Amino acid sequence: MTAYACLLQAPCTGVAQPSKRIHNHALDLPRRGAYFSTMNGQNLFLFLCVIAVRCALAGEDVRHELEYAPAPVDNPLKGLVPYAWAADEHGDLFPHSMEFTYLPLSDLMTGEEQYNWKPLDDFLNAASKRGDQAVFRVFLEYPGKTGCCPSYLLDQGLPVHRYRCTNTPPLPPAMIETPDYTNLNLRRCLQKFIASLGKRYDGDPRIGFITAGLLGTWGEWHDYPHDEYWAPKTVQNEVLDAYAAAFHITPVLTRYPANENHKLQTSNAARPVGYHDDSFAWATLDTGKPSESWFFLAAMKAAGVDAQNKWKLFPIGGEVRPEAWGKVFDEKPDDPQIQDFQACVEQTHATWLMDSGMFNKQTWTQKRKQRAEELARRMGYAFDVRSVVLNWDKDQLAIRVEVENRGVAPFYYDWPIEYALLSDSGEVFRRFVGVGKLTHLLPGDRPRIWLETLDVAGVKRGLYHLALRVPNPMPQGKPLRFANQTQDQHAPGWLTLMDVATE
């Protein structure tokens, strides 16, 4: 079998030029006439339109530069995240790939080491049917809600502080029930719950990220302004230890960066957890004011180098502050407290953010949506395949793919890559599992080189489109798509790299 790797990216349009290493082999029509007689009209038309294309005979390299194009806003595991109810009712208002929900621990625990996973599974299944992966948090206290602690703990005598919580703006104060976090029965309950949660759900493809929760108001790891009710560091360490032991695949995020000198929060800078800033674009940037030292980036700076470099290994998420919903995507927000969204994303290296502004008809406008798409696209990763080099010799196709990350953060899951030979209609003639990795490719790094050798023995003669994809392990999930013009050109989810012809 003789093979040709050809730069046939589109019929009768400009042809990309190969590298200087390639000799100029014009297509020899008489010698290949027998081959052309077996081609269908469409493929023959392609060949005739690019008669001057340069092709490499077997054993020679062909290099092709791919063109950049912005990746979709709803790439998986990044971007703006609605609450589950908003995704169900208003999900069409803004492109997204994840959904968020809260769950009280009492919904999931019916007794000591007795679990009811149905509420969580119902959420995960509903989100996945909409093509979305999930972010969730389990809590023990929430302003305006009662009965969040498992009843069996109350029967065992768990003390509960009931008071009017004033830390609720922009909502009015509401009653809250804060459990005594020093209670031994509660502490054992939390450790066993986390272990069971991890055993059942770690690595579940329906889940994108988990926020640690379980402690503090809304599960946000504080009881401000009643610091006297807050969980001591011993209890915080028990919860973080339990998460580290139970979750090795699904990332877990905690609320506040802290080192050993923090007054209220236990040291977490060196722990295998990410962070979530739930006052994003409101209390994110470091203002330098002592009264605002709790702002996210100020706290991260105080926590030290390990915390500041956390994003390189563990994700940064959070929620746009309610007071900034909608307004944060105005070119000039009318509230001076609202911080510049793009600066916040770039300095935190945020991958995802809960947001209600773009999923609420009262705060949604076309102008805000357009600007939000531009800014949300910047979040997380953005993989650009810069070039591909092919060398097809006998029954082996050697590939060299050059990949760059143009985003602000890496990709945190080890999803496999695949190659395929496609027809014009997107039919897969042959599929190959690649060995290249997307994990730990940081923005600003030198492009990563993937070297692959594909077994093409037995491939029938014809014209093929060599394509690359990163499938989502959740069957209904959105595929990861690259920031290139030929993404989805011949088949959904596939990036067309180069055309090859065999005879």
Q: Is 156 exposed, middle or buried (0-12, 13-18, 19+ CB in 10 A)?
A: middle
Contacts of 212 (CB under 8 A, 6+ apart): 137, 219, 221, 239, 240, 243, 252, 253, 254, 255, 273
pTM: 0.88
Q: Which residues of the chain have pLDDT under 50?
A: 1-2, 7-39, 41-57
Angstrom distances, CA of residue 99 to CA of 74, 210, 233, 255, 315: 12, 12, 31, 19, 16
If we measure between CA atoms, which residue out of 499, 501, 399, 502 comes closest to residue 8? 499
- Beta-carbon neighbour count of residue 278 at 10 Å? 23
Q: Are 97 and 132 in contact (CB under 8 A)?
A: yes
Domains located in the chain, CATH noted: 3-70+382-502 (2.70.50), 79-377 (3.20.20)
pLDDT tens digits, 368-386? 999 999 999 999 999 999 9
Q: Integer distance in angstroms from the first to the last C-alpha of the chain?
A: 6
- State yes or no: cis peptide before 225, omega within 30 of 0: yes
Per-residue confidence (pLDDT) for residue 422, from 0 to 100: 95
